[in-house]
Protein backbone atom coordinates (compact mmCIF):
# COMPACT_ATOMS: atom_id res chain seq x y z
CA UNK A 1 0.00 0.00 0.00
CA UNK A 2 1.29 3.45 -0.87
CA UNK A 3 -0.46 5.33 1.90
CA UNK A 4 -3.34 7.78 1.99
CA UNK A 5 -4.05 9.50 -1.31
CA UNK A 6 -6.13 12.56 -2.06
CA UNK A 7 -7.46 13.98 -5.29
CA UNK A 8 -7.17 16.61 -6.58
CA UNK A 9 -4.05 18.11 -5.02
CA UNK A 10 -5.10 21.60 -5.97
CA UNK A 11 -8.47 23.13 -6.80
CA UNK A 12 -9.25 26.68 -7.83
CA UNK A 13 -12.92 27.57 -7.99
CA UNK A 14 -15.09 30.63 -8.16
CA UNK A 15 -17.23 31.66 -5.23
CA UNK A 16 -20.60 29.97 -5.33
CA UNK A 17 -19.45 26.84 -7.14
CA UNK A 18 -19.56 23.34 -5.68
CA UNK A 19 -16.42 21.27 -5.23
CA UNK A 20 -15.79 17.65 -4.29
CA UNK A 21 -12.62 16.08 -2.94
CA UNK A 22 -11.74 12.41 -2.70
CA UNK A 23 -9.68 10.52 -0.15
CA UNK A 24 -8.45 6.93 -0.43
CA UNK A 25 -7.26 5.65 2.96
CA UNK A 26 -4.82 2.87 3.70
CA UNK A 27 -6.76 -0.22 2.77
CA UNK A 28 -6.86 -1.98 6.15
CA UNK A 29 -7.76 1.19 8.07
CA UNK A 30 -11.42 1.46 9.00
CA UNK A 31 -11.27 4.95 10.51
CA UNK A 32 -11.11 7.97 8.24
CA UNK A 33 -10.80 11.62 9.32
CA UNK A 34 -11.12 14.95 7.55
CA UNK A 35 -9.26 18.03 8.82
CA UNK A 36 -8.95 21.59 7.56
CA UNK A 37 -5.71 23.55 7.79
CA UNK A 38 -5.39 27.25 7.15
CA UNK A 39 -2.13 29.13 6.75
CA UNK A 40 -0.18 29.35 9.97
CA UNK A 41 -2.55 27.08 11.87
CA UNK A 42 -2.60 23.45 12.82
CA UNK A 43 -5.15 21.07 11.33
CA UNK A 44 -8.66 21.35 12.75
CA UNK A 45 -10.94 18.34 12.99
CA UNK A 46 -13.98 18.32 10.68
CA UNK A 47 -15.47 14.83 10.78
CA UNK A 48 -14.67 11.15 11.00
CA UNK A 49 -15.99 7.79 9.83
CA UNK A 50 -15.77 4.34 11.22
CA UNK A 51 -16.30 2.14 8.20
CA UNK A 52 -19.24 3.73 6.37
CA UNK A 53 -20.76 5.41 9.43
CA UNK A 54 -20.13 9.10 10.01
CA UNK A 55 -19.86 9.22 13.79
CA UNK A 56 -18.94 12.79 14.58
CA UNK A 57 -19.02 16.20 12.94
CA UNK A 58 -17.34 19.35 14.17
CA UNK A 59 -19.19 22.62 14.55
CA UNK A 60 -16.80 23.83 11.82
CA UNK A 61 -18.71 21.66 9.38
CA UNK A 62 -21.49 23.96 8.24
CA UNK A 63 -24.57 22.81 6.32
CA UNK A 64 -22.73 23.52 3.07
CA UNK A 65 -20.30 20.70 3.82
CA UNK A 66 -21.15 17.04 3.40
CA UNK A 67 -18.97 13.98 3.65
CA UNK A 68 -19.63 10.40 2.65
CA UNK A 69 -17.92 7.07 2.81
CA UNK A 70 -20.43 4.87 1.04
CA UNK A 71 -18.70 1.50 1.10
CA UNK A 72 -16.35 2.06 3.98
CA UNK A 73 -13.41 2.57 1.66
CA UNK A 74 -12.82 5.92 -0.07
CA UNK A 75 -14.48 9.10 1.16
CA UNK A 76 -15.67 12.30 -0.49
CA UNK A 77 -15.99 15.78 0.97
CA UNK A 78 -18.29 18.16 -0.88
CA UNK A 79 -18.55 21.88 -0.32
CA UNK A 80 -21.59 23.57 -1.81
CA UNK A 81 -21.80 27.27 -2.67
CA UNK A 82 -18.15 27.86 -1.83
CA UNK A 83 -17.10 31.02 -0.03
CA UNK A 84 -13.71 32.70 0.11
CA UNK A 85 -13.43 31.63 3.74
CA UNK A 86 -13.41 28.02 2.59
CA UNK A 87 -9.95 28.51 1.09
CA UNK A 88 -7.71 26.11 2.99
CA UNK A 89 -5.87 22.82 2.83
CA UNK A 90 -8.20 19.86 3.35
CA UNK A 91 -6.44 16.89 4.89
CA UNK A 92 -7.56 13.30 5.10
CA UNK A 93 -6.14 10.78 7.55
CA UNK A 94 -6.82 7.15 8.35
CA UNK A 95 -6.13 4.85 11.27
CA UNK A 96 -6.78 1.39 12.58
CA UNK A 97 -9.10 0.66 15.45
CA UNK A 98 -8.37 -1.64 18.32
CA UNK A 99 -5.19 0.21 19.28
CA UNK A 100 -4.59 2.58 22.13
CA UNK A 101 -2.59 5.18 20.27
CA UNK A 102 -4.87 6.03 17.32
CA UNK A 103 -1.85 6.84 15.21
CA UNK A 104 -3.10 8.61 12.11
CA UNK A 105 -1.62 8.56 8.64
CA UNK A 106 -2.18 11.67 6.59
CA UNK A 107 -2.59 12.22 2.88
CA UNK A 108 -0.89 15.08 1.02
CA UNK A 109 -3.98 17.26 1.19
CA UNK A 110 -6.14 19.15 -1.30
CA UNK A 111 -5.47 22.87 -1.45
CA UNK A 112 -8.66 24.79 -2.22
CA UNK A 113 -8.57 28.37 -3.45
CA UNK A 114 -11.88 30.18 -3.79
CA UNK A 115 -11.69 33.33 -5.94
CA UNK B 1 -11.78 21.20 25.93
CA UNK B 2 -8.50 19.80 24.74
CA UNK B 3 -5.77 22.13 23.52
CA UNK B 4 -2.11 22.16 22.52
CA UNK B 5 0.19 25.15 22.79
CA UNK B 6 3.49 25.27 20.95
CA UNK B 7 6.28 27.78 21.17
CA UNK B 8 5.90 30.41 18.52
CA UNK B 9 8.22 30.41 15.57
CA UNK B 10 9.83 30.74 13.30
CA UNK B 11 12.97 29.15 14.66
CA UNK B 12 16.21 29.61 12.74
CA UNK B 13 19.28 27.58 13.65
CA UNK B 14 22.68 26.85 12.21
CA UNK B 15 23.50 23.30 11.20
CA UNK B 16 24.57 21.11 14.15
CA UNK B 17 22.86 23.38 16.69
CA UNK B 18 20.67 21.99 19.48
CA UNK B 19 16.92 22.18 18.94
CA UNK B 20 14.11 22.49 21.47
CA UNK B 21 10.51 23.14 20.51
CA UNK B 22 8.23 23.51 23.52
CA UNK B 23 4.79 21.93 23.65
CA UNK B 24 2.27 21.95 26.48
CA UNK B 25 -1.24 20.56 26.54
CA UNK B 26 -4.52 20.47 28.37
CA UNK B 27 -6.67 17.38 28.06
CA UNK B 28 -9.98 16.15 29.41
CA UNK B 29 -8.69 12.58 29.60
CA UNK B 30 -5.41 10.69 29.41
CA UNK B 31 -3.90 11.59 26.02
CA UNK B 32 -1.42 10.02 23.71
CA UNK B 33 1.03 12.62 22.46
CA UNK B 34 2.52 13.03 19.02
CA UNK B 35 4.92 15.13 17.02
CA UNK B 36 4.22 15.43 13.30
CA UNK B 37 6.46 17.01 10.68
CA UNK B 38 5.35 18.68 7.47
CA UNK B 39 7.93 19.24 4.76
CA UNK B 40 7.21 21.83 2.07
CA UNK B 41 4.52 20.64 -0.32
CA UNK B 42 3.89 17.42 1.59
CA UNK B 43 1.38 16.06 4.07
CA UNK B 44 1.92 15.52 7.77
CA UNK B 45 4.17 12.64 8.75
CA UNK B 46 4.28 11.13 12.19
CA UNK B 47 7.70 11.83 13.70
CA UNK B 48 7.31 10.24 17.13
CA UNK B 49 4.77 9.37 19.78
CA UNK B 50 4.35 8.56 23.47
CA UNK B 51 1.32 6.96 25.04
CA UNK B 52 1.86 7.26 28.79
CA UNK B 53 3.65 9.33 31.38
CA UNK B 54 7.47 9.19 31.32
CA UNK B 55 7.51 7.45 27.93
CA UNK B 56 10.13 8.77 25.56
CA UNK B 57 9.38 8.82 21.86
CA UNK B 58 12.31 8.95 19.48
CA UNK B 59 12.94 8.88 15.74
CA UNK B 60 15.61 10.22 13.36
CA UNK B 61 17.56 11.76 16.25
CA UNK B 62 14.50 13.59 17.61
CA UNK B 63 13.24 12.85 21.12
CA UNK B 64 10.33 13.93 23.31
CA UNK B 65 9.39 12.80 26.83
CA UNK B 66 5.80 12.67 28.07
CA UNK B 67 5.78 14.75 31.27
CA UNK B 68 2.42 14.41 32.98
CA UNK B 69 3.35 16.58 35.93
CA UNK B 70 4.12 19.56 33.70
CA UNK B 71 1.71 18.55 30.89
CA UNK B 72 4.52 18.91 28.40
CA UNK B 73 6.01 17.06 25.44
CA UNK B 74 8.97 19.13 24.28
CA UNK B 75 10.75 18.10 21.07
CA UNK B 76 14.57 17.99 21.09
CA UNK B 77 17.39 17.14 18.74
CA UNK B 78 21.04 17.34 19.57
CA UNK B 79 22.35 18.33 16.15
CA UNK B 80 20.03 19.61 13.44
CA UNK B 81 20.62 19.31 9.72
CA UNK B 82 19.48 21.45 6.80
CA UNK B 83 17.13 18.61 5.85
CA UNK B 84 15.27 19.07 9.16
CA UNK B 85 13.84 22.36 7.89
CA UNK B 86 10.08 21.89 8.09
CA UNK B 87 7.00 22.73 10.14
CA UNK B 88 6.60 20.71 13.35
CA UNK B 89 3.22 20.07 14.95
CA UNK B 90 2.54 18.80 18.44
CA UNK B 91 -0.73 16.90 18.83
CA UNK B 92 -2.75 14.87 21.29
CA UNK B 93 -5.34 12.17 20.92
CA UNK B 94 -7.47 10.54 23.59
CA UNK B 95 -8.35 6.89 23.28
CA UNK B 96 -11.81 5.73 24.25
CA UNK B 97 -13.20 9.24 23.85
CA UNK B 98 -13.21 11.59 20.89
CA UNK B 99 -12.73 8.55 18.66
CA UNK B 100 -9.04 9.21 18.38
CA UNK B 101 -9.37 12.52 16.61
CA UNK B 102 -6.31 14.67 17.09
CA UNK B 103 -5.97 18.16 18.48
CA UNK B 104 -3.01 20.03 17.03
CA UNK B 105 -0.90 22.99 17.99
CA UNK B 106 -0.38 25.78 15.47
CA UNK B 107 2.98 24.48 14.33
CA UNK B 108 6.54 25.76 14.61
CA UNK B 109 8.53 26.51 11.48
CA UNK B 110 12.16 25.44 11.69
CA UNK B 111 14.78 26.70 9.26
CA UNK B 112 18.28 25.27 9.47
CA UNK B 113 21.03 27.19 7.70
CA UNK B 114 24.25 25.58 6.50
Residues of chain A with C-beta less than 8 angstroms from the C-beta of B45: 106
> What are the DSSP E strand ranges found in B1-114?
3-6, 11-14, 19-21, 23-26, 31-38, 44-50, 56-59, 62-65, 75-77, 86-94, 102-104, 108-113
Tell me if B34 and A103 make a contact (CB, 8 A cut-off): yes
Strands (E), chain A: 5-7, 10-13, 19-24, 31-37, 44-50, 53-57, 65-68, 75-79, 88-95, 105-106, 110-114
A33 in contact with B at a CB cutoff of 8 Å?
yes
B83: helix, strand or coil: helix
Residue B13 — φ and ψ, nearest 5°? -130, 155
What confidence category does residue A28 fall into, taking pLDDT thresholds of 50, 70 and 90?
Answer: confident
Count residue pairs from A and B with Cβ separation < 8 A: 66
What is the model's pLDDT at position B95?
67
* pLDDT, position A98: 64
**In this predicted structure, what is the pLDDT of residue B29?**
85
Per-residue pLDDT 10s for chain B (114 aa) are: 899 999 888 999 999 999 999 999 999 888 999 999 999 878 899 999 999 999 999 999 999 999 999 999 999 999 999 999 999 999 998 866 656 788 999 999 999 999
Whole-number pLDDT of residue B97? 60
The answer to whether residues B46 and B104 touch, using CB atoms and an 8 Å cutoff, is no
Is the confidence at residue A99, as pLDDT, over 70? Answer: no
Comparing alpha-carbon positions, the chain B residue that sits nearest to A99 is B95
User: With contact defined as beta carbons under 8 Å apart, do A37 and A89 qualify?
Assistant: yes
The residue in chain B having the minimum alpha-carbon distance to the alpha carbon of residue A50 is B99
- Chain-chain contact of A104 with B51 (C-beta, under 8 angstroms): no
- What residues of chain B, 17 to 76, have a C-beta less than 8 Å from chain A? 32, 34, 36, 42-46, 49, 51
For residues B103 and B34, what is the distance between their CA atoms, to the nearest angstrom?
10
- Note the pLDDT tens digit of each residue in A45-97: 999 999 999 988 888 888 999 999 998 899 999 999 999 999 999 999 998 87
Task: Tell me the three state secondary structure of residue B59.
Answer: strand
Q: Chain B: give the shortest CA distance to residue A14, in Å.
A: 23
CA distance A30 to chain B (A): 12
Percent share of chain A, pLDDT over 90 = 72
Please say whether the beta carbons of A33 and A93 come within 8 A.
Answer: yes
What pLDDT, on the 0 to 100 scale, is given for residue B45?
92
Q: Does the pLDDT at position A102 exceed 90? A: no
Amino acid sequence: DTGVSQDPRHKITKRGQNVTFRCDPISEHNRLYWYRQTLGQGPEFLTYFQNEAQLEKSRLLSDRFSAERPKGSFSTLEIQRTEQGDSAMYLCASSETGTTTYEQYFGPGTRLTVT
Amino acid sequence: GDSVTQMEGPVTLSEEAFLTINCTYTATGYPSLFWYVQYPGEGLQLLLKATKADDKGSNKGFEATYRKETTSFHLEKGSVQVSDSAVYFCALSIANTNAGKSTFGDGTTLTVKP
